[in-house]
Amino acid sequence: MYKKIVEKPIENILFIGGGETDFGLQGESDAAIYQVLPILNSLGYTTSVIDDNPYSLAIESPATTGFLRPLTVENVKAVLAEQNIDAVLPTFGGTRALRLWDQVLAEWRPENGPVPTSLGLKPSQLHQVNDGRLLFDRIIDAGLNVTASAVVKNQEEASELLREMELPLVVRAHQPIQTTTRQIIDRLDDFDQVVSQVMGQSLTHEVSIAKAINGLKEISVLVLRDRDGNCLKVGSSEDMDPIGIHSADSLSVAPVLTVSDQVLQQMRAQSFLIANLLGLQGVLHVQFAFNEKTGDIYVIKVSPYLDQLTNRMAVMTGYPVMLVAAQLAVGKLLTEVVLPNAFHAKTAIMEPVMDHIVVKLPVFSFGDMEATGTQVSRQLNSVQKSVGSALGFGRTFVEAMEKAIRSAHFNNRSFAPKYMADVSDDELIQQLIHPQDNRVLLLIEALRRGYEVDELAELTNIDEFYFYQLKRLLAIELSVDQQPGDAEALKMAKKSGLSDGLLARFWRTDFQSIRQLARANDIIPTYKALEPSAGEFPEHARQFFATFEEENESNPVCDRSVVIIGPGAFRMGDGASAGYMTSVTLSELHRLKYKTIIMNNNAADPTLLPHLSDKQYLEPLETSDVMSVIDRENPHAVLVPGNRKKLIAALEDLGQNVIVFPKEKHHPAGPEFSQSEFVLNLFYDGKDKFPLIIFQHQPGQIRLLDQEINPNFLAGLDLQSPGLYQVIWRVDINQWVSQVDLPNLSIDTWLRPMPYGHIAYLTKVLKMPLGRMVVRAWIGQLNAADRQLLAEVNTNPNFERLALMASATDYALHWKPDHWVDTTRFEMGARIAPYADEEG
């Protein structure tokens, strides 16, 4: 009879994590893995996660077995054996995980046992994806354009073309005799020889040469595919800046606004075609270039794995992309996907539609480095410069953009009208053509100085639509400026996303009086639900953003709620770990039966995952935004990061119960090369101080000391509020030690709150939930067992020999600094590395 191939059902799945944070790699992989673990459990799977990122939330999840180990072939193989793994899901870890898994497969030996199933992508496809050329050849064979190309008949024509093109070039035989005749030319010297060689491979003696596609519109499309080939489009977004500027460094907007339905449908069809070509199960991100003049569409990048757009689309649309993608990867059909009760029953199979606009703005941290005297290149090009991004949600482009600007910058100082006045006309032209990180400001300034829309659109290759929008913003600013104290002007300004703070600056008053004027005139935000049906169905939405319209949809959660102010966009320093700590806090408060309300605007970290909090406000984090939410929710307490001094003061003025989340502004500090910094970590529960462990910090690395600390040492330390702290001193030692003499506490040391990253690291190596304990201490719920655990660490330390290493971020490539940069001081991320104890 009919034999359907029945494979042994998979039971044990290994996730390969995304590894350390870097340019283009924030916490998205970790957030995604963390999110899907519980649902896979409920479907009967056992999971394991391997990652070398000490800030990983996923490896701490109670829903999995986590392995904090370097991401190597040996370690993956070891976990496979230890955990009896029968399937590996590498696509959630992005490109690094895909390469590693490909390598594991290549090095698989019969004695390793049966090869585990590759979920998401089959091994052969995985290999094509890792070798981009193979993948693009298949895409070309399927009839899609990959880049604009010209066909030439002879060497002269080819040389002619060379003058207009930049290397590297792609040369292919036109109407090839054989199928694979694609050559990449990296060196000018090779050009003639390759062209004549390829010409010989063409039936018609013609060669097609790929052209640079700078200046075209860039569109991203995200789709899902199941094992039977059913595809669903999650969404698409467009970049304001043309190709030539890295997509991550451009303002981008979703949904797509300036491209016709016909073009979007072709991109959709091409995305589905590529998904089917790869036979993938899960998520696919395709980047397209679109030439408006000719109507040509080019495929420029294919990412059949989880990347930043995946998480961002989930937040922007309310469609649970990762929960669905994981189930497709393990073999479910789109029609079989199961979602938590909070979602509408049909959510998984309905393509999400948006009735709001989301603007993503890149965040650059050039200033942090420049402040220390290092010059960097601020010019935007095809190499990513931004370290993070923030989202702005609104019902018009202007509103979403203003809110994105405020989200990315915390304050609006740089957006006040006078700020750009110093730029000379020559500089302005230069920067219009060679964009820098102040892109949007510069475009507004150009309009302010009377440049015509046509002219600007031509100079910048930016769609006219954006200039008309920026002109609207300029007009609003102007009318606000001219009508101080006018309620109508205020209303218009609020509708356009402007903050009370910026208005106060315009009207030379304080923001309290703006707030009062707004309230007196009934100008208060109406919160709109963010849900994937655009209002078609009644929903139990828990995501909201502020607008100034008629109907408000957000009702207060309850009286035992806590508002948590998120860390906002990823920045240098403890950016990689701020999301971790905020998420741990949300999770612990939830466990303690508080209703949690998060405010944040960064989609790359886990803080906005729907299951982590009871309600999410997708908002900027300026004082006026926070106050409006507090007015609406009337929470029991507000949790604010310690570096938000102004916000804390404002909330306390309003009589709010503020809990300060200890955090300092990023200081590029650390020991010199001949030095070691010693750090005594301690826990203060409001009454007792618990010394935990000492670690030694040499440039680039931290190791733990196996040394008992005399509790009396801390007797003289004066602490204000419960939390984790560090007592620090420096010694001129440039080798690793196992013991250190304690210094004079009052003279040689200084005190700081424990950075989030160290909390994440110590939680893992000491195997005790320090983050959660600190949350318990804040709200007076630290229990006796906690205290006993804390007391035991010092006397009976039991830690893994894993050093905390600063990532070797390639600043030279991305920022071109004028001298060498110590990545410990400008941390983008971190990883762990095992070490052996020093002898003697």
Partner 1 sequence: MERHLILEDGTVFSGQGFGAPATTFGEIIFDTAMSGYQETITNPIYDGQMIVFAMPVVGADGIHAEAYESTTPKIRGVIVHDLAEVSTNRQRRMNLDRFLQHHNIPGLYEVDTRKLIRHLRETGPQKATIVDVVDDHAVDQLVATVLTNKQVQNTATPKAYANPGRGFHIIVIDFGLKHGILRVLGDYDANVTVLPFTTTVDEVLTLDPDGIILSTGPGNPKDLPDEVSTLVRVLQTKVPLLGLGLGHELLALANGAGVKALPAEYHGMNHPIQEIISQSIFYARQGRGYVIDEESLDSKKLFVTHRDLVDGSIQGIRLRNYPAFSVQFFPDGAPGPLEANGIFADFFETVADYVQKNS
Partner 2 sequence: MANKVVLDSDSMQRALTRITYEILERNKGGQNLILVGIKTRGEYLAHRIADRLEQLEQVQIPVMAIDVTNYRDDHLDSHDDLGLDSAEKLNIANQNIVLVDDVLFTGRTTRAALDALIQIGRPQAIALAVLVDRGHRELPIRADFVGKNIPTAQNEKIKVKVKEFDGEDSVEIEH
What is the binding site for partner 2 (CB under 8 A)? 1-2, 4-5, 179, 229, 276
Half-sphere exposure of 642 (CA within 13 A, CB side): 14
- Report residue 528: phi and psi, to 5°: -100, 140
Closest separation between CB of residue 102 and partner 2, Å?
Answer: 20
**3-state secondary structure (DSSP) of residue 448:** helix
Between 2 and 750, CB nearer to partner 2: 2
> CB of 399: closest distance to partner 1 in angstroms?
9
H or E element at residue 694: strand 689-698
Q: Which is nearer to partner 1, 264 or 322 (CB)?
A: 264
| Number of CB atoms found within 10 A of residue 664's CB | 13
352 binds, among partner 1, partner 2, none (CB under 5 to 8 A by kind): partner 1
- The secondary element (H helix, E strand) that includes residue 695 is strand 689-698
> Closer CB to partner 2, residue 1 or residue 715?
1
Residue ranges that bind partner 1, judged by CB under 8 A: 228-233, 255-262, 264-266, 268-269, 272, 292-293, 334-335, 346, 349-357, 395-397, 453-454, 464-465, 468-469, 472, 526, 528, 533-538, 549-551
Cα 838 from Cα 704, distance rounded (Å): 11
Write down the least CB distance from residue 82 to partner 1, Å.
40
Q: How far is the CB of 178 from partner 2 (least distance, A)?
A: 9
Q: Among residues 138 and 448, whose Cβ is nearest to partner 2?
A: 138
CB 596 within 8 A of CB 631: no
Residue 534 interacts with which of partner 2, partner 1, none, CB < 5 to 8 Å by class: partner 1
Residue 423 binds which of partner 2, partner 1, none (CB < 5-8 A, kind-dependent): none
Q: Which two tokens stand for residue 675?
A: 């030095």
Residue pair 687/734 in contact (Cβ under 8 Å)? The answer is no
Which CB atom, from 273 or from 731, has the smaller least distance to partner 1? 273
For partner 1, the closer of residues 550 and 653 by Cβ is: 550
Residue with smaller CB distance to partner 1, 536 or 818: 536
CB of 280 to partner 1, least distance (A): 17
Backbone angles phi, psi at 814, to 5 degrees: -85, -40
Q: Which is nearer to partner 1, 535 or 834 (CB)?
A: 535
From the list partner 1, partner 2, none, pick the one residue 593 interacts with, judged by a Cβ distance below 5 to 8 Å according to partner type.
Answer: none
Shortest spacing between CB 557 and partner 2, in angstroms: 46
| Partner whose footprint covers residue 718, from partner 1, partner 2, none (CB < 5 to 8 Å by kind) | none
Binding site partner of 372, from partner 1, partner 2, none, Cβ cut-off 5-8 A by kind: none
How many C-beta atoms surround the C-beta of residue 177 within 10 A?
Answer: 11
CB nearer partner 1, residue 360 or residue 595: 360
Nearest distance in Å: CB 304, partner 2: 18
Query: Kind and range of the H or E element at 403?
Result: helix 397-409
Q: How far is the CB of 338 from partner 2 (least distance, A)?
A: 23
Of the two residues 139 and 640, which places its CB atom closer to partner 2 in the complex?
139
Query: Of 149, 146, 76, which Cα lies nearest the Cα of 116?
Result: 76
Which one of partner 1, partner 2, none is in contact with 276 (Cβ closer than 5 to 8 A by kind)? Answer: partner 2
Place of tokens 């983008």: 828
Q: How far apart are CA 471 and CA 452, in angstroms?
A: 10
265 binds, among partner 2, partner 1, none (CB under 5 to 8 A by kind): partner 1
DSSP state of 823: T
Shortest spacing between CB 230 and partner 1, in angstroms: 5
* Nearer residue to partner 1 within complex by CB, 130 or 230: 230
**Which C-beta is closer to partner 1: that of 193 or that of 265?**
265
Beta sheet of 169-173, edge-to-edge order: 149-152, 207-210, 169-173, 182-185
Question: In this structure, is the dihedral angle defined by the CA atoms of residues 213, 217, 222 and 223, taken in order, positive or negative?
Answer: negative
C-alpha–C-alpha distance, residues 352 and 668, integer Å? 43
Measured between alpha carbons, how far apart are the two ends of the chain, in Å? 72
- Partner from partner 2, partner 1, none contacting 396, C-beta within 5 to 8 A by type: partner 1
Q: Which is nearer to partner 1, 536 or 748 (CB)?
A: 536
Q: How far is the CB of 703 from partner 1 (least distance, A)?
A: 53
3-class SS of residue 372: coil
Compute the least distance from the CB of residue 272 to partner 2, in Å: 10
Residue 242 partner contact from partner 2, partner 1, none using kind-dependent CB cut-offs of 5 to 8 Å: none
- For the bound state, the minimum distance from the C-beta of residue 276 to partner 2, rounded and expressed in Å, comes to 7
- Report the residue number, 264 or 390, with the smaller CB distance to partner 1: 264
Q: How far is the CB of 179 from partner 2 (least distance, A)?
A: 8
Cα-based torsion angle of the residue sequence 630, 635, 637, 641 in order, rounded to the nearest 10 degrees: -40
228 binds, among partner 1, partner 2, none (CB under 5 to 8 A by kind): partner 1
Read out DSSP for 730-789? EES--S--S------HHHH-EEEEPPHHHHHHHHHHTTS-HHHHHHHHHTT---HHHHHH
* Minimal distance, residue 722 CB to partner 1, in Å: 43
Burial bucket for residue 522 (CB in 10 Å: 0-12, 13-18, 19+): exposed
Could you tell me which residues are beta bridge partners of residue 617? 544, 599
Read out DSSP for 613-672?
A: -SEEEE---SHHHHHHHHHHH--SEEEEETT-HHHHHHHHHTT--EEEE-----------
What tokens were used for 385? 């410069």
Whether residue 711 is preceded by a cis peptide bond, meaning omega within 30 degrees of 0, is: no
Which of the listed partners (partner 2, partner 1, none) does 1 bind, with a CB threshold of 5 to 8 Å by partner kind? Answer: partner 2
What's the min distance (Å) between Cβ of 329 and partner 2? 20
Q: What is the DSSP string of 133-178?
A: HHHHHHHHHTT---S-EEEESSHHHHHHHHTT-PSSEEEEESSBSS
What does 736 interact with, of partner 2, partner 1, none (CB < 5 to 8 A by kind)? Answer: none
CB closer to partner 1, 49 vs 541: 541
261 makes contact, choosing from partner 2, partner 1, none, with CB < 5 to 8 Å by partner type, with partner 1
Find out whether the peptide bond into 743 is cis, omega within 30 degrees of 0: no
Among partner 2, partner 1, none, partner that 687 touches (CB below 5 to 8 angstroms by kind): none
- 834 — alpha (psi -120 to 50), left (phi > 0) or beta? beta
Cα atoms in the 13 Å half-sphere on the side-chain side of 450: 1
